[in-house]
Amino acid sequence: MSILRRYWAAALILAIVVVHAAVIGYVRSRVARLQNVESNTFDMGRYRFQNVTDPSRVYQFQLHAVLDPARRQTGRERLSQQNMEIHEETEHLLRQVQTTWLRDPEQSELRDRMMEIVGKHLEEPIVQRLLITDWLELPVPGSPIDFEPSTTTRITQNP
């Protein structure tokens, strides 16, 4: 009993340190598990285009596909194989879409049409939906370019 009276403060500090170390170890193990979680999204690339009906603007965005978690790896492989074909057909669509689709903040009609293109290039429905990020609508700067050589400037060579 005299040992307990003499070292009670040291025992209490030691118990607090042990509990603190256990909590820190548990939190770190949970964070490590979160860092190893694989994402269900696949980067489909950056699109930059100019619509035929509105040549005064350039549009740009980043496209991502949300994959079925059960077939994540298969989806990544298939999208990687078909990425250029999907990209080309999507850009063809984007250059010809109605300008009202481009002005829609939710881009619902645009997403639906792009989803049809992605579905056409995949054998099975692996992509659940498409995400559009980094949407930019930029005006085309009007800078006149003179392709005619100037008549006042001549280059002469000495024989």
pLDDT digits (tens, 9 = 90+) for 55-90: 888 888 899 999 888 888 888 888 888 889 989 998
Q: What is the pLDDT of residue 122?
A: 82
Tens digit of each residue's pLDDT (9 = 90 or more) over 26-57 = 999 888 777 666 778 888 889 888 888 888 88
**pLDDT score of 133 more than 70:** yes
Proportion of the chain above pLDDT 90, given as a percent: 10
Q: Contact, 51 vs 57, CB < 8 A?
A: yes
For the cut 60, the answer to whether the pLDDT of residue 157 exceeds it is no
CB atoms closer than 10 angstroms to residue 133 = 10
Report helix, strand or coil for 127. strand
d(CA 49, CA 150): 33
Residue 42 · residue 75 · CB < 8 Å: yes
